[in-house]
Structure 1
């Protein structure tokens, strides 16, 4: 196991290693951050607002005198895990429909493809705003919105991959042996789609991070007293003229997370090409 990991790391270019380090860093922060936070997420601990770095507040305080470090450590959990969960759900659903469409073909492919084309034509922000306005903002709804928004995009990529594979000889041989659709999908087609799908999952993750951050910036994401990284930027927007760390730090967190994921995705592509 350690040999495979070492070989994998050696095979990554410098940009890929940087991306991997950034992604792993934020995953670790999301996992253990709340236990490392010096204060609770909504505690008012500073009489001053937008204070600078000090021994008591390593990243200063926000617009209400709350510890920025604690808020970022808590907020990263919502951003990372909501985005990761939504991306994985979107890829699983989109790939399942793609395999069904590619293997069955005919009217099944036509109906699913046209439905996905219709759904993908709806702007993601408008779709999210309508659902949040109708049902209110909650973590489960945000997860559903983010996942549903990116199912069609994954379906298109997965269907293109599956269609190419279904036409190959080894799939035709499996059909001639009398193998069922489930066997062909899971044992013949899907294993040959794994690497492109992993790259697409990374892209969906980045898209979901930006979507959730955008919703939170509009006040429609994770609700107070909890917050994700996008919420932290929005609520401290008044400190931008002062260059307050309360707005700079979460913005940098979103940037490093998305840039790191993109660098890692590019490094994982076959041949290292974009």
Structure 2
């Protein structure tokens, strides 16, 4: 039997090579977000080289930035902001969106109508424009960024969860639970949520990618993480002048963003079908 190049068999079990490699990249960046500054060869904010936009060397594996700071150390610092802010925002967005979506599907009536129309109106605003206006009006800080990013992606999570919950709500086992007198909370937590958990987790991974890209875009425009701290988008903005010199200072954070987002996408694409697509 032919076997896909992306998978192999080991001791009778099929191993998805792409999913494993993607998981390793994700785990690496998760570890760097937690402990990266401990492994940084230099202080992220310290000028350690008088040659700005310095080349790759043994002392500076990714070169130096426009002030002579070590790029590797700053990327490791930026991982905590990029991954941390994006993860907090996607958890908040998906938790609120899924909870509201299931509640709307189970209760129906005017609650469903009001929630759906309000979140539809919110989702009609371009995400980057909404983020720019809110951050410019309120000010850029980590809590504000998390809240704004969560608000932007809650409507999409709500629509996705509601569509899944509506299908589950019409099934016989839910009708039986309702007939024996179970309340709304029981139906949501015991009957509907377990049956939509797989697709919701896959959707959460995709929204994490969207949030990473939007956060990086806001930072590139100067409205994200503020100096002296920096996420990966801020590092690209700071070192955009390195393009003229062919220095790695602007390429390295771009590769970091790409490696994280592509790895998450590949992992989602290679999840087992029964996990990614299960809706009953």
For Structure 1 versus Structure 2, the TM-score category normalised by the shorter chain is: over 0.9
Q: CA deviation at 1:109?
A: 0.7
Does the 8 A contact of 2:268 with 2:276 survive in 1?
no
Matches within 5 A, 1:2-151: 11=14, 13-151=16-154
- d(CA) in 1 for partners of 2:19, 2:107: 38
In the alignment, is residue 230 of structure 1 matched against residue 222 of structure 2? no
Does the 8 A contact of 1:196 with 1:269 survive in 2?
no
Does the 8 A contact of 2:198 with 2:276 survive in 1?
no
In the alignment, is residue 157 of structure 1 matched against residue 160 of structure 2? yes
Structure 1 gaps of 5+ residues are 1-6
Alignment correspondent of 1:4 = none
Q: CA deviation at 1:199?
A: 0.1
- d(CA) in 1 for partners of 2:34, 2:48: 24
Deviations 1:78-134 (A, max 9, x none): 001111111111000000100110010011111111111100000111111111111
Does the 8 A contact of 2:140 with 2:223 survive in 1?
yes
TM (normalized to structure 1)? 0.94
Cα gap change, 1:49 to 1:212, in 2 (>3 Å):
same
Q: CA deviation at 1:13?
A: 2.2
Task: Report how many residues are paired.
Answer: 266
Does the 8 A contact of 1:37 with 1:69 survive in 2?
yes
- The one of the two structures with greater contact order (alpha-carbon pairs below 8 A, sep at least 6) is 1
SS at match of 1:57: coil
**Which range moves more in the overlay, 48-57 or 136-145?**
48-57
In the alignment, is residue 248 of structure 1 matched against residue 242 of structure 2? no
TM (normalized to structure 2)? 0.92
Q: CA RMSD in A?
A: 1.5
In the alignment, is residue 180 of structure 1 matched against residue 201 of structure 2? no
- d(CA) in 2 for partners of 1:133, 1:194: 36
- d(CA) in 2 for partners of 1:119, 1:12: 42
Does the 8 A contact of 1:30 with 1:81 survive in 2?
yes
**Which range moves more in the overlay, 15-24 or 97-106?**
15-24
Structure 2 gaps of 5+ residues are 1-9
Alignment correspondent of 2:173 = 170
Match of 2:266 among 263, 270, 273: 263
- d(CA) in 1 for partners of 2:134, 2:232: 21
In the alignment, is residue 194 of structure 1 matched against residue 197 of structure 2? yes
Q: CA deviation at 1:137?
A: 0.6
SS at match of 2:270: helix
Alignment correspondent of 2:216 = 213
